[in-house]
A and B are shown apart, each in its own frame.
Chain A
Amino acid sequence: MEKKEWPLWEVFIRSRNGLDHKHCGSVHAPDARIALQVARDVYTRRMEGVSIWVVQADHIVASDPDAKPELFDPAEDKIYRHPTFYKLPDEVNHM
């Protein structure tokens, strides 16, 4: 009998009052439907009003850590790109 390895799924959850889905971990499951159920058991404790996304880990393309200099460093020395010099009115203090 052939034993199939269950693929890995990455789990993203939006909490009841949350604005966006946050990555919270991963699960092994044979398909998306079961991955959702498992993610619910493991990560939400079945709090109602949450939204779950599962994505098969193979489908995620990550940036290369070795390419960090060319990808991210150039942003650091161009401070004129950063909108940090504006004086904000008090009303929008929490931006």
Chain B
Amino acid sequence: MATNQEHTEYVLRIGDNALILGQRLSEWCGHAPVLEEDMALANMALDLIGQARMLLTRAGALEGEGRDEDRLAFLRTEGHYRNLTLCELPNHDFARTKVRNYLFSTFQVLLLSRLVGSTDAELAAIAGKSLKEARYHQQHSGDWVIRLGDGTEESHRRTQEALDYLWPYTAEFFAPAPGEDAIAAAGIGPAWHELEQSWEAQVHPLMVEATLTVPPRTPFKSYGKFGRHSEHMGHLLATMQYMQRTYPDTQW
């Protein structure tokens, strides 16, 4: 039987991914290559923040210590964040942003498709709503990865560079996390390694279509979902949490 803490952590892992990637995508606001893409990126950031709000609220309820979405988002330090390292990496350029969105949203679609049948009815409902959004993110970013990879010499170079840079971080998606087996046994959600094959089966053909080369796996490991983050995370949180830390418990 999964403990309450395992259940909370599992939901936090999903919610923190959405929150942190949502924060990253919002940084594009007003800076995208064209107006249309500016809107699309903001749109996706809003989708992710919306998902994060629901998931953090659910995690707070499971935890039972009276922490709401705001407390969880704004008053946790980086060691308590459970997001994948991939989500917190800087946007860098348009190619890296799009490749990341594709790698992540493909994973998210697979995860949410499974969570729709969760024994945690609230989590299942959140997944049902989020899945439609994630499918759109996957389609949109996948189209762009193909377009950029198979575009000009320069766009191909940047997209390949983005894939080479991000690829090692995707191993973390499928690394076993504590309590995951109990979560799977209780029917709350899959252990994430169960999604690896389907993920690879979708990602590889798209990269071929985009004329990109998927780099080989290396021993590199990242540990964001265990609370050990990259050097970028602290800066991201400093920006995100500044107001709440300066004026704690204000109404807004």
Contact = CB atoms under 8 A, between A and B. Distances in A.
Contacts of A28: 34-36
Contacts of B147: 30, 34
A29 to B, nearest CB: 6
Given A1-B152, A1-B154, A38 B36 contact: yes
Contact of A42 (B36, B139, B140, B152): B36
A16 to B, nearest CB: 16
B40 A2 contact: no
DSSP class of B's interface residues: helix, strand, loop or mixed? helix
A10 to B, nearest CB: 14
B152 A41 contact: no
B177 to A, nearest CB: 32
Contacts of A86: none
A33 interface: yes
B8 to A, nearest CB: 31
Contacts of A51: none
Interface residues of A, number: 14
B143 interface: yes
B102 to A, nearest CB: 14
Contacts of A42: 36, 39
Interface in B132-148: 136, 139-140, 143, 147
A10 B43 CA distance: 21
Given A2-B152, A30-B147, A37 B140 contact: yes
Contacts of A38: 36, 39-40
A46 B135 CA distance: 13
A13 interface: no
A6 interface: yes
A24 to B, nearest CB: 15
> Most chain-A CB neighbours within 10 Å: which of B34, B36, B136, B153?
B36
Contacts of A30: 147
13 contacts: A1-B154, A2-B152, A6-B34, A27-B36, A34-B36, A37-B139, A37-B140, A37-B143, A38-B36, A41-B36, A41-B40, A41-B43, A42-B36
Nearest first, the 6 A-B pairs at minimum CB distance are A38-B36, A41-B39, A41-B43, A41-B40, A1-B154, A37-B140
